[in-house]
């Protein structure tokens, strides 16, 4: 009867197996693409095999006892209950195994902590729920948002190969250079993790942590936030593009040009339709996670914008909260995150979408002048 139950459970499992795509059964840690990540991997495998060896010895003795010393096989119980020699042995031998393990682990750790003499410094700031990258010697900064469409998350569209591991603007770093990361946060604690580099460091509001990497192979490396940071913790991936140094220099100058052009666009006159179109894009990327795509929010932490006092009445109050945030809440200060066009567009959008038909048009020039005053 018991055997029957066990058998039927296994049958149940086996019938489900064909449903599973057998394509990807990754069962182990990645070796990664840096010296550090390879040392970490080898530490991991060493300790794993030590554990396996101990397990084989302990479980064999146990299995031997279960098979040969069962009462039904006529075993008579011995009455011994101590043996000083063996007790000393199984206390001392593990200590030596541990020392043998601690030596390489210490060496790797010292290496990981050596953040001196970096070639490039990048400040990584965690936000609910996106990352900001600032290249400290380049006067270059941008945000990196999840790029997976909402329809895929809610199962209305087929999922991409890199579902939840894709961003709009990846971090770009050169290969063969020592890159130092300075990690901090704007709100709660996040943790920046790229498995291929064996870099995981908490981003803590008010403090700066350090980590470093030197990537050897060109490629795209993906990771995720590792510390629970609220509602969309599962939706703030990290994508790092490692490119040759020359390509990196070209990318930096191109990126600067694009950002300059976007900022210059604040000087021209924007029509209502243009602002609404741009505003919707900005809203979906930056605001919809909390205030929801339909503007209805999630009470009480994330208030509704649809029909709200702020979004339908006092224009100045609306501009103020978007630019400067609201202390003690999840509402961030977007003056530091978006350019004048995007700010003007998103405020215009919020004042006119979902039946908030105020007809107000916020001019990018006006926002630009506010930003300059700060």
- Of residues 331-350, those binding other proteins (CB under 8 A): none
Encoding tokens for residue 35?
A: 């010296």
Q: From the centroid of its chain, how far is CA 31?
A: 19
User: Among residues 227, 247, 274, 296, which is the contact residue for other proteins, using CB under 8 A?
Assistant: 227
- Of 14, 18, 85, 86, the residue at the interface with other proteins (CB under 8 A) is 86
C-alpha separations of 353 from 130, 145, 283, 333 in Å = 24, 23, 11, 22
Buried residues in 309-341 as b, exposed as e (16+ CB within 10 A): ebbbeeeeebbebbbebeeeeebbebbebbbbb
Given the complex with other proteins, which of 201 and 291 has the nearer CB atom? 201
Q: What does each C-alpha distance from 220 to 79, 196, 252 come to in angstroms? A: 63, 10, 17
Tell which positions 1-30 bind other proteins, by CB under 8 A: 1-2, 5-6, 9, 12-13, 16, 19-22, 24-30
Show the site string, 295-334: x = touches other proteins by CB under 8 A, - = not.
Answer: ---xxxx--------------------------x-x----
Smallest distance from other proteins to CB 231, Å: 5
CB-wise, 137 or 154, nearer to other proteins? 154
Please give the residues from 96 up to 135 whose contact with other proteins meets the rule CB under 8 A: 98, 101-102, 105-106, 108-110, 112-113, 128
Tell whether residue 201 is a contact of other proteins (CB under 8 A): yes
- Closer by beta carbon to other proteins, 48 or else 136: 48
- Report the nearest approach of other proteins to the CB of residue 248 (Å): 26
- Burial class, 91, CB count within 10 angstroms (exposed 0-12 / middle 13-18 / buried 19+): exposed
Tell me the site size for other proteins, rule CB under 8 A: 111
**In this chain, which stretch among 242-250, 277-285, 293-301, 332-340 interacts with other proteins, using CB under 8 A?**
293-301
Per CB under 8 A, 147 contacts other proteins: no
CA distance 127 to 144: 10
Residue from the set 7, 56, 59, 264 that interacts with other proteins by CB under 8 A = 59
H-helix or E-strand spanning residue 373: helix 364-373
Close Cβ partners of 292 (under 8 Å, ≥ 6 residues apart): 298, 302
For the bound state, the minimum distance from the C-beta of residue 136 to other proteins, rounded and expressed in Å, comes to: 18
Based on the shown chain and the rule CB under 8 A, indicate whether residue 165 belongs to the binding site for other proteins.
Answer: yes
Residue from 119, 147, 169, 230 touching other proteins (CB under 8 A): that is 230
Residues contacting residue 338 through CB under 8 Å, at least 6 positions apart: 282, 286, 346
**Contact with other proteins (CB under 8 A): which of 134, 152, 324, 358?**
152
Q: Are 38 and 32 in contact (CB under 8 A)?
A: yes
Cβ nearer to other proteins, comparing 101 with 363:
101
Give just the sign of the alpha carbon dihedral 16, 17, 20, 21.
Answer: negative
- Binds other proteins by CB under 8 A, chosen from 167, 173, 225, 243: 225
Q: Binding of other proteins at residue 90 (CB under 8 A)?
A: yes
Q: Tell me if the bond preceding 129 is cis, omega within 30° of 0.
A: yes
Respond yes or no on whether the N-terminal peptide bond of residue 224 is cis (omega within 30° of 0).
Answer: no
């Amino acid at each position: 009867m018991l055997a029957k139950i066990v058998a039927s459970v296994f049958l149940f499992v086996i019938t489900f197996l064909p449903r599973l795509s057998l394509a990807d059964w990754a069962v182990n840690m990645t070796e990664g693409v840096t010296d550090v990540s390879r040392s970490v991997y080898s530490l991991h495998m060493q300790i794993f095999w030590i554990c396996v060896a101990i397990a084989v010895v302990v479980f064999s003795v146990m299995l031997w006892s279960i098979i040969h010393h069962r009462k039904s096989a006529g075993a008579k119980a011995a009455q011994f209950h101590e043996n000083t020699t063996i007790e000393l042995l199984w206390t001392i031998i593990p200590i030596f195994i541990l020392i043998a393990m601690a030596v390489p682990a210490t060496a790797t750790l010292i290496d990981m902590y050596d953040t001196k003499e970096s070639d490039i410094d990048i400040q990584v700031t965690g936000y609910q729920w996106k990352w900001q990258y600032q290249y400290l010697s380049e006067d270059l900064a941008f945000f990196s948002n999840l790029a997976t469409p909402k329809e895929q998350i809610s199962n209305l569209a087929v999922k991409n190969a890199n579902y939840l591991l894709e961003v709009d603007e990846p971090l770009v770093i050169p290969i063969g250079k020592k890159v130092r990361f300075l990690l901090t946060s704007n709100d709660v604690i996040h943790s920046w993790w790229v498995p291929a580099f064996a870099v995981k460091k908490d981003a803590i509001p008010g403090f700066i942590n350090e980590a470093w990497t030197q990537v050897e192979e060109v490629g795209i490396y993906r990771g995720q936030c590792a510390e629970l940071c609220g509602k969309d913790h599962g939706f703030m991936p990290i994508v790092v593009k490692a490119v040759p140094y020359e390509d990196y220099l070209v990318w930096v100058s191109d990126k600067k040009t694009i950002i300059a052009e976007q900022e210059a666009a604040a000087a021209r006159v924007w029509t209502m339709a243009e602002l609404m179109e741009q505003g919707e894009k900005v809203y979906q990327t930056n605001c919809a996670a909390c205030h929801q795509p339909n503007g209805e929010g999630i009470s009480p932490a994330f208030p509704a914008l649809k029909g709200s006092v702020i979004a339908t009445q006092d224009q100045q109050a609306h501009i103020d909260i978007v630019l400067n945030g609201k202390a003690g809440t999840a509402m961030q200060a977007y003056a530091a995150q978006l350019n004048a066009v995007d700010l003007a567009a998103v405020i215009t959008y919020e004042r006119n979408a979902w039946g908030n038909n105020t007809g107000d048009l916020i001019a990018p020039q006006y926002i630009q002048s506010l930003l300059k005053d700060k």
